[in-house]
Amino acid sequence: MRKLLVGISILVMAAAGIVFYGANGATPEVAPAPAPCRDARQLPAGTSTQTIRSGDHTRSYLLHVPATYDGTTRAPVVVMFHGLGGDPQTVLDATGMADRADADGTILVVPLGRGEPARWTFRKPASDPSSDLAFVHDLVGQVQRTACTDPDRLFAAGFSNGSALTLALACDGTTRFAAYAAVSGPYYEPRCDDAPPASIIYFHGTADTTVPFGGADTVIGRLPPVNTTMSQWATRGRCPASGAFTTADDSIHHFAWRSCKGGTDVDIYAVVGGVHGWPGGGPMSPGRASRTQDSPVDATALLWSFFERHPASRSAAGGQ
């Protein structure tokens, strides 16, 4: 496994220049407040189950609305995707995202995959009605019609199978998210080469045996090596420089590509010895006892900070 990490280091240092960043990256930029919604779109605070008709199926999702939502002030939206066999409530419980959303006035949208076990179809383009990329496009449209949302602060996050879907959304571009956070599910295919640059933060444990860091055939198909995948995203973003930050105890390898096309950034956190899970969170599979996963990294805190620094006004990913 150390050989893989050395391989990433060589890849990073081969770039045009080396810049070292702290764990939180650049200082967040404050985006101007968007104009309020002309018509109040009232929603009850808390978590509720909603449904949507997409293609030939009725789908469900959890909608979490913070108490500060007033129906006229445009709220950020984070759409989160569970892993294979997961469910929306487990995602909320394991990641602590609801607490973050409540503190920052953000709406969370957490859909349920299809099938048994529940999964995401991410290899088909959004033009295919059976693709979950098409479903996500419909889902975001419904949320934006019924809630007062900020089109420049629409974000996607996912774990494992949901991570692959998140990166597939960045490839497809039909639904324009401002930035993407992916955990333990690398994805890149040739069709991604033609997509706009995207701001991406990615986490993966080097001891993951479910989705190996070095790539493997998995229950959701072949997934590529993490270092190959993320260097492809950086190349697609035309990133001119790269950087690395390693903790003193060598438990985290943080690689950051900065000043990419359109103001986008690409970050990787390789958790040395980390397994298949949400760094700093609880179990991502339903039915397991709630516990904190030992990790030198808090994925939720880092991705939240990353999202705050990457509204669509700074990103080529755009917004609706």
pLDDT recorded at residue 20:
31
pLDDT digits (tens, 9 = 90+) for 224-260: 899 889 989 999 999 986 666 777 678 889 999 988 9
Separation CA 172–CA 156 (nearest Å): 13
The dihedral over CA atoms of 162, 230, 78, 300, expressed in degrees to the nearest 10, equals: 90
Q: Which of 83, 89, 87 is nearest to 64 (CA)?
A: 89
> Which residue, 117, 116, 99, is CA-closest to 108?
99
- Give yes or no for residue 1 having a pLDDT over 60: no
Confidence category of residue 24, pLDDT binned at 50, 70, 90: very low
User: Cα(201)–Cα(99) distance, rounded to whole angstroms?
Assistant: 20
Alpha-carbon distance 269 to 228, whole Å? 14
d(CA 76, CA 89): 20
Q: Which residue has the higher pLDDT, 304 or 292?
A: 304
Mean of the pLDDT values across residues 85-114?
97
pLDDT for position 6? 43
Judge whether 148 and 41 are in contact, CB under 8 Å.
Answer: yes
pLDDT given at position 226: 93
Determine which of 45-54, 107-116, 127-136, 290-299 has the lowest per-residue pLDDT on average: 290-299
Tokens 């949507």, residue?
52
DSSP 139-179: HHHHHHHHS-EEEEEEEEEEETHHHHHHHHHHHH-SS--SE
- Does pLDDT of 303 surpass 60? yes
Please give the domain boundaries of the chain with CATH numbers for all domains. Answer: 2-30+41-314 (3.40.50.1820)
Taking CA atoms, 203 is separated from 68, 174, 303, in Å, by 30, 24, 10
Phi, psi of 263 (to 5 degrees): 75, 15
pLDDT of residue 202: 97
Amino acid at 77: V
How far apart CA 316 and CA 302 sit, in angstroms, is 21
